Amino acid sequence: MGVLDVKGLSKAFGNLQVLNNVNLSVQEGERIAIIGASGCGKSVFLRCLNLLEAPDKGSVTIDGQEITAPGANVDLIRRQMGMVFQKFHLFSHYNVLDNLCLAPTRLLGMDPKTAEKKAMSLLTQVGLAAKAKVYPTVLSGGQQQRIAICRALMMKPKVLLLDEPTSALDPTMVGEVLAVIRMLAKQKLTMLIVTHEMKFAQEVADRVLFFADGGIYEEGAPDEIFNSPKREKTISFIRKHTFFSYEITKRSEFDLMQLQGGLWSFAEKYGINGNRTYLLQLSSEELIYEFFHGSFADGEEVDLKLDVTYAQAMDCIVLEVVSGGVPYNPILAESQDDDDGMEHIGITLLKKRVSSISYVYDGGRNRVRVEVAGN
């Protein structure tokens, strides 16, 4: 028997059978990543474990106590499972320290000074000790989620359930939350993590569950699931083409750091290494500013779209930048007249480092295609 045992778990909403006879045993200290397409039942499964959703059939046992048993003390057993939601659900009228201390003092009878000491220790671990007396509304989404994780840990759970903890965050904040979860993984905390961050799952999990068709369609070690999946739907999910898009309509509102953060998050999610991520960011930045300069007059509104396609089976990244304005070939930027003395060193470096780069003017649009092949 594991620290968490699930037998025959089923859940339907009307005629929609979301979970059907799911079985799982989780050992103490095990880190399990749950992946799958949107709507496959991942989050419902997590919510059924602590009866936030009542299952129609089956049993859930945590540390030897069955929470689904008739007459079970659900509130007491539920305390063994900490829950981190997509949204942070912090109390806005309490400061950070009070948010952390409220449940353990009221529900566990923890001495207030002991609770404050533990809370400050956790805040220090996640780099937020200086925020103990501030209110959640002044914090970033990433900071709030880190605090939500601390709040769950304050109850000393046997198992930590994380339901897509980065999905509600700006791409630039994803990394800070994943860093905290990585830290917890090193502490051998038992965790079930529903996530779309594939690289993170591959690095952190001991076991990966791929959900489809109402339950665990395929499971195995990260290397097995991500590098050699056996079943058809797992193969299709892991090796599918993935996309990232970004549009610019006002030069004055273009936020380079937001774009670079989005590209980094996209690369992190799909396991793209640092060198190729840098080339993707460099290509995007150089081409956007080349079109700003070459296709549009100063002060003129811009019309530009960036698309990234990652074909995982072929390990190939294609970046396409499509720009309106007058015809302009940024690949030839070094040889074109430049009245204001603008240098094009970035384009020169880019041409030498990417696998291929090409330009066409078609249908009144400038189109540049860059390929960043695997190493």
Average pLDDT of the residues in 46-57? 96
Q: How far apart are the first and last CA of the chain?
A: 44
Provide the β-strand partners of residue 318.
Answer: 309, 371
pLDDT at 86: 84
The answer, yes or no, to whether residue 87 has pLDDT greater than 90, is no
Query: For residue 223, how many other CB atoms are within 10 A of its CB?
Result: 10
Q: Are residues 133 and 203 in the same domain?
A: yes
For residue 60, give the CATH number of its domain: 3.40.50.300
**Mind spelling out the 3-state secondary structure of 4-65?**
EEEEEEEEEECCEEEEEEEEEEECCCCEEEEECCCCCCHHHHHHHHCCCCCCCEEEEEECCE
347 or 209, higher pLDDT:
209
Do residues 264 and 199 touch, judged by C-beta distance below 8 A? no
Q: What is the pLDDT of residue 311?
A: 72
Rounded distance, CA 75 to CA 155, Å? 13
Can you read off the two tokens belonging to residue 229? 């999946």
Which carries the bigger pLDDT value, residue 25 or residue 372?
Answer: 25
Number of domains the chain is built from: 2
CATH number of the domain within which 290 lies = 3.30.565.10
CA angle 183, 189, 195 (to 5 degrees): 70
Specify the DSSP element, H or E, that contains 294. helix 274-295
My answer on whether 205 and 259 are in the same domain is no
Lookup result for tokens 């994943």: 178
DSSP state of 340: T
In this prediction, residue 241 has a pLDDT band, given cuts at 50, 70 and 90, of low
Would you say 148 and 136 are in contact if contact means Cβ atoms under 8 Å apart? Answer: no
pLDDT > 70: what percent of the chain? 94
Q: Averaged over 252-264, what is the pLDDT?
A: 91
Helix (H, G, I), strand (E, B) or coil at 315: coil
Pair (186, 318) in one structural domain: no
Same domain, 226 and 338: no
Tens of pLDDT along 193-211?
999 888 788 889 999 999 9
Question: With 90 as the cut, is the pLDDT of residue 288 above it?
Answer: yes
pLDDT in tens, 35-50: 998 889 999 999 999 9
Domain that holds residue 153: 4-239
Last residue of some domain: 239, 262, 284? Answer: 239
Contact 142, 171 (CB under 8 A): no
Question: When comparing pLDDT for 339 and 6, which is higher?
Answer: 6
**Cross-strand partners of 162:** 84, 193
Contacts of the segment 171-174: beta carbons below 8 A, 24+ positions apart: 171/258, 171/261, 171/262, 171/264, 171/265, 171/266, 172/257, 172/258, 172/261, 172/262, 172/264, 172/265, 173/140, 173/141, 173/142, 173/145, 174/142, 174/265, 174/268
Asked if 23 and 123 sit in the same domain, the reply is yes
Provide the CB-side half-sphere exposure for 179 (13 A, CA). 12
Predicted confidence (pLDDT) at residue 314 exceeds the cutoff of 80: no
Domain boundary among 203, 220, 239: 239
User: What pLDDT shows up at residue 12?
Assistant: 94
How many angstroms from the chain centroid is the CA of residue 18? 23
Helix (H) or strand (E) holding 371: strand 365-373
Same domain, 57 and 97: yes
In terms of domains, do 228 and 245 share one? no
The verdict on pTM exceeding 0.85 is no
- Residue 275: pLDDT above 70? yes
* Euclidean distance between CA atoms 237 and 212, whole angstroms: 10
pLDDT at residue number 332: 84
Give residue-wise pLDDT tens across range 119-154. 999 999 999 999 999 999 999 999 999 999 999 999
240 or 25: whose pLDDT is higher? Answer: 25
- Least confident range of 10-14, 20-24, 230-234: 230-234
* Same structural domain, 206 and 274: no
pLDDT score of 21:
97
Q: Is the pLDDT of residue 25 over 80?
A: yes
For residues 282 and 278, give the distance between their C-alpha atoms in angstroms, rounded to a whole number.
Answer: 6
HSE-CB for 24 with a 13 A CA cutoff: 30
Supply the pLDDT for residue 341: 41
pLDDT for res 340: 47
Angle among Cα 275, 235, 201 to the nearest 5 degrees reads 50
Same domain, 93 and 154: yes
Strands 215-220 and 207-212: antiparallel
Q: Are residues 226 and 281 in the same domain?
A: no
Whether residues 86 and 186 fall in one domain = yes
Dihedral sign for Cα 292, 294, 295, 299, please.
Answer: positive
356 band by pLDDT with thresholds 50, 70 and 90:
confident
Q: Residue 256 pLDDT more than 80?
A: yes
> Which has more confidence, 305 or 345?
305
Q: What's residue 146's pLDDT?
A: 93
88 and 102 fall within a common domain: yes
Q: Which of 209, 239, 269 is the last residue of a domain?
A: 239
State the average pLDDT for the chain: 89
Residue 136: phi and psi, rounded to 5, are -55, -30
